Amino acid sequence: MASIYDALLAKRVFDFADSYKSVSAPNNIFTSLNLFSDENLSSNTVLLDRLVDEQNRINLENAPYVQSDFNVTTPRGYDTHVLDLKAFKRLDKVTSRSFEQNRSFGRANLAQSMDEVIADFVIDHTTAFLNTREEIYAEAVLGAKQSSVYASQGDLDFFTEFGTTRSTAIFNFGAGENVLQQIDAVLRQIRQAAKSQIRQLTGIVCLCTGDFATGFSYHTSIKESILWASAGNGNGYLSDLQLMLSAFPIHQMKGVTFIDVTGDPLLEKYIGTDGAVFIPRYAPNSGVMKCFNGIGTMHAVFGKTPGVFRQYSTLDEFQYPSVISESSHLAINNLPQAVVYCGTAI
């Protein structure tokens, strides 16, 4: 197998391409839910697109022998103001100290030692990217915004941007209460908020903590309705989630996938220690939840290809390599009002 360090000595730069895809991110909730579709850009700015009303995607009757009578496709509209993507960069240099430490473990040669140090940095960079993307997704869905220090638009609030308000629901888990009926009310609320995109709905996920997680699992009105996640139970989505999110209890009921995320600090920041949020899932081509990805800015040549994440290595004048990673993102939820935040009755 060719050595990365030998390639660096020959060309002074090495592109890791899509090697980040081989690094897993277990128990990253939003990455595993696969809510967002990616759109890769050749710049780090974007005009937000407006959703096409599904009512317009039908054919009206035409005169059969009139050459000029056709249905036409309504083009997707765009905002008139430009938004900046959020930029993320990481750089680590291999030093003589890190090189000597690796050599002390009996590595066979210089190239092998250098490769192992580089590989450690590559994994660290990829893990940081995966965790950062998870936070971007969580903020877009649960926080209904994209906050930024350096983007020209500052903090982008989706409710303000799209002229909508937060949707809420109240649950009562008292004895004799019908929790299934209350869940039905939330599902109707989501369908109404989804407007014409209701045909793009593919499922609903509920992230819950504390008393909500207990109530959705063990309340007397619903215990017999739960489908627990287990390998080979015939439900592909449920089984896949259980494999990717082994730290979290998962079950399904009335078409809703419930995930107990109690203890996850990132999600509890938005949901609380006793709360729940119902999140709709849409078809990938719906454009409802989209993550725009830009290009790198630090190297004159590398990182310029549109993509989700770029990693490359360069060599300094002392023949020591550096590992650089870059990414730019802006995650958008075009229907923030379809996410329902739940509280309990006093």
Give the model's confidence band at 333: pLDDT under 50 very low, under 70 low, under 90 confident, else very high. very high
Residue 160 domain flag? no
> What are the backbone dihedrals phi and psi of residue 141, each rounded to the nearest 5 degrees, phi first?
-90, -50
* Residues, the chain: 346
Residue 108 domain flag? yes
Domain tally for the chain? 2
Give the model's confidence band at 279: pLDDT under 50 very low, under 70 low, under 90 confident, else very high. very high
Residue 318 domain flag? yes
Residue 56 domain flag? no
Residues 196 and 109 in one domain: no
Residues 132 and 235 in one domain: no
**169-173, long-range: CB < 8 A, 24+ apart:** 169/278, 169/340, 169/341, 169/342, 169/343, 170/342, 170/343, 170/344, 170/345, 171/212, 171/215, 171/276, 171/342, 171/343, 171/344, 171/345, 172/344, 172/345, 173/211, 173/215, 173/219, 173/344
CA distance 317 to 302: 19
Residue 327 domain flag? yes
Give the model's confidence band at 31: pLDDT under 50 very low, under 70 low, under 90 confident, else very high. very high
Residues 130 and 10 in one domain: yes
Residues 203 and 241 in one domain: yes
Residues 149 and 297 in one domain: yes
Residues 143 and 199 in one domain: no
State which residues form the domain around 251. 165-288+336-344
Say which range, 28-37, 88-97, 276-285, has the weakest mean pLDDT.
88-97
The model's pLDDT over 187-236, given as tens digits with 9 standing for 90+, comes to: 999 999 998 899 899 999 999 999 999 999 999 888 777 766 554 555 67
Residues 124 and 15 in one domain: yes
Residues 131 and 256 in one domain: no
The model's pLDDT over 42-53, given as tens digits with 9 standing for 90+, comes to: 999 998 766 656
CA distance 145 to 129: 19
* CATH assignment of the domain containing 227: 3.30.1930
Predicted pLDDT at 346: 55
Say which range, 235-249, 294-308, 327-341, has the weakest mean pLDDT.
235-249
Do the beta carbons of residue 254 and residue 225 sit within 8 Å? yes
Residues 6+ apart with CB under 8 A from 33: 205, 241, 279, 281
Residues 310 and 214 in one domain: no
Query: Region 252-261: what's the mean pLDDT?
Result: 92
Residue 68 domain flag? no
> What are the backbone dihedrals phi and psi of residue 186, each rounded to the nearest 5 degrees, phi first?
-65, -40
CA distance 141 to 143: 6
Residues 149 and 193 in one domain: no
Residues 101 and 28 in one domain: yes
Residue 159 domain flag? no
CA distances from 21 to 16, 86, 126 (A): 11, 21, 9
CA distance 114 to 318: 13
Query: Region 164-173: what's the mean pLDDT?
Result: 96
Predicted pLDDT at 305: 87
CA distance 224 to 221: 8
The strand ranges marked E within 159-255 are 167-171, 201-208, 227-228, 250-253
Residues 14 and 121 in one domain: yes
| pTM, full prediction | 0.88
Residue 58 domain flag? no
CA distances from 186 to 125, 193, 293 (A): 40, 10, 33
CA distance 289 to 34: 10
